[in-house]
Structure formats: C-alpha cells, structure tokens
Structure 1
Amino acid sequence: MSAAGLPFTPAAVIFDMDGLMLDSERAIIDCMAQAARECGYHDLPDVLWLSMVGHSEAVCRHLLDEAVGEAGRDAILQCSHLLYDAVVAAGVPHRPGIVAMLDFLEARGMPRAVATSTRRPLALRKLEAAGLLPRFHAICTSSDVQHPKPAPDIYLLAATSLGVDPAHCLVLEDSPTGLRAALAAGMHPIQIPDLLEPDDAVRALGHTILPSLDDARLLLERRLSASLVV
C-alpha cells in the first residue's frame, strides 16, 4: 500500500493500544529492567526487553523463562507489576497525535475499537487513566480471544463487535506482531513504528508505514474527502 493514498474508504478504524495510543512500551521496558536489577539480574541485555514488544503475556513469560528460569521469571514479573501499577495509576502519557486522530474520527461518526494484547483488567485501567476509554465503541483484549497476536482473532473480534466486515477496517499498529495479526484478519493496516523499526521482511509485506499518527490522520482525511466528492 502506497503512502500516497489509501486504496479504500474505511468503515471503521481499529487501534492497537501500547506503543500506538499510549507511550507505554518504554514504561513497560523500564519497569522490567528495573525489576530485574532489583531481583539481582544485572546483566540482562536490552534486546530481551525489546523482543517482548507487541507480544502476549504468555510469550513474554516464555522469554523470561529462557533467560532466568521460572523462579527468576516470577520474581521479576511480581516486582515489575508493582512498578508498572504505579505508572498506570498516574496515567500513561499519550502518543503524539492520538487525541487529534480520535477527534477527527468522532466528528465523522467513524466506528472505533481497541485491539490490544494486554489483558482486559489492565487495559481498561490504562485507557481510563489516560482518559481514552469513553472514546471507543468496543475494547477487545487478549482476555477475550483464544489466540493472541499475531493470530487474527482479536482483530476479527473487533470487527464483529463493531458490526463491520474485516475488509472494510483500517488498523493502526506499531509492532510487527500486531501488523501480521491485522493482515491475517484481512484488514488494511497502517504501521506507525515506535520502539521497533520494521526490518526488510516486514517492509516486504507491502503495507503503509508512516512516521506518526498525524500523518495517518492526514492520509485518512484525504481519502474521506475524496469519497465525499465522488
């Protein structure tokens, strides 16, 4: 898909949460790294934390198992959850452009959903603390599906919740894992990278990659304006 224009007029927009709407990936990584140090693991590489971006809790637990074993994993996760709870309670900062994007879509009556790999209780707390929860028609989380991203389940659930055919859904994602989930669901994704830059394999998928939500909003605005003219 060329960044010059969208090839279709969306009937709904589905948002990833962490790293796309909320600047939470950095906070999560910082909390995990701090927790590891507090538990006595001082030499874990940054690439370990980056490898968890966009993945489900089960995948992250497995990666920690491989790095420090089950006992170390449980200690790190318990400590990191406490650290991250304090961050969430204070309100995770927005990613640039999310409020303007939501204002734009609300003004046009565009159906909106969240599709996040975060478990439901934490996802709702994060969205509420950030003031974004009321701005969506549906919230779909990893608690609601059998198979997490990169399986398409969560995006298909979001489309069903909105009553929109998956082929008519625009997806906004930051991670390669979420991108592949959206493509597997038969949707049209725009990737706005955060911590993970797309490699050659990801770029070969042929989707749109943009630097910011503001760029995505302008692209969508041009498409919707053209549809009105036609």
Structure 2
Amino acid sequence: MKAISFDTPKRIEYLPFQVKVAREDVLPRVVQLRAAAYGHHLPELGARLATAESADYEAGCLVICATSRMDDEVLGSMRIHTNAHRPLPLESSLELPEHYTGLRLCEATRLSVGRSPNSSVVRNALFKAFYLFTMQQEIDWMVVTGRSPVDRIYDGLLFEDVLEKNTFYPMHHVANLPHRVMSFAPSEAQALWKAKEHPLYRFVFETHHPDIDVTHESVFHPESFIASLPPMHHQPERRHAFPFI
C-alpha cells in the first residue's frame, strides 16, 4: 500500500458519521440499505440485492460504508472492485479501449445512500473515500457506470465517457439496464478540480476528515496482477500522484 503524503490541512472537519471499510457484522445492514435504495427505483433489482453478493467477500474488492455516530445506522455504502485478481464487472458487458490495458483499474458499484438530511454529504464522503482508496492503491483509472439520471453525478465529478459521449450500454451486472461507462484519472484530480474551481475541491483537498478512513492493505500482489494481464503486456511504471492534503 502506498502511503499518502499529507501536508498540514487548511481545516479539520468532523462529520456526524464515519466512513470505513465495512465490518462483517455490519454487512447485513449494508445489504439491507442497498436493497432498499435500488428497490425504490428498480424493484426487481432491489429484490435480487436483498442478500449479500459473492463480490462482497472477494479478494480485490472492498465494501465501504457510512455509519451514524449517534446510533450506528448505515447511511450509505459503495463497493469498490479492482482488477487485481479479475476483470472489472463492467468488462462482462463492454470491452475497454486498449489504452486501459495493463493498468490498475477500479470500479465503484452498488452506490447506495439512504434518505436523510445528510444524504448529499454522505454521498460526497463516499466519493472522497473512493478517491483516497485509489491513491493508496496507486490506481491509474477510476471507472464507473451510471444510468440516467445518475450519470449526471459523474459528469459533475468530471468523469468522461470511455467510449462514445453520452452513449448508454446494457450492463450485465446491473440487470442489463443501459448505463454510461465513464472514467477519471485520480492522479489528475487535484490539479483538474483546482483549475475548474470545482465546488467540492475544498471538501476533498483542503479539508482533513478524521472520520473518513479506508486504509487497507495493498490488493495488488505483483504475481497475481501480472498473471491477470493479457500476453505481451507488462505492469507499467507507476505515475507520480498528486499528494492529498
């Protein structure tokens, strides 16, 4: 795992919830929230998600969740897949362009946020945790799939379409519903968001949140990662990442 270099933050902010890697005893409540969140818009898919999925326990995957400090209620969750041991879920439906080959990738799936006054802050904190994880693991590309209108959230975060702009593709791991496939290079996030004066720049880069901690051992073991690559491709030299402050 790569250590993130922290400069002295301009501000420290404590949240009314914590974002951490989900403990096994918390996972049933994560699954309950996931089923309810998806079931609100997609009842059939919500019913299918009423039990834990095998990916919740797979090597190279990580379930993160936000829990209330007051009563430990699960307020939101996200599952992060890496290609450390197997292709990303979206790759069962779409072949990524060649320039992603041999790079460290991760995909955010099953984003679920409960209805509460803090829902937007919870979602922002989950994405900050996602970003922190990618920096720790030296990820080259964050990849997501978004159905309409969820895809607009990723537009707002400055993700860009992997293939044709604003084009939707059926995704096998999301009930074959049409989704945009979008990506973002975490090593470019700080400079890009600063240049664009992104409204979340201060929250992500100028504020230290002690309540967000997804520190995790490296999921990329050289032997398994290299073995998972197509023939004639080798693991690329790691790019320097902007320090997170």
TM-score for the superposition, normalised by structure 2: 0.26
Instruction: Determine which structure has the larger strand proportion and give its number.
Output: 2
TM-score for the superposition, normalised by structure 1: 0.27
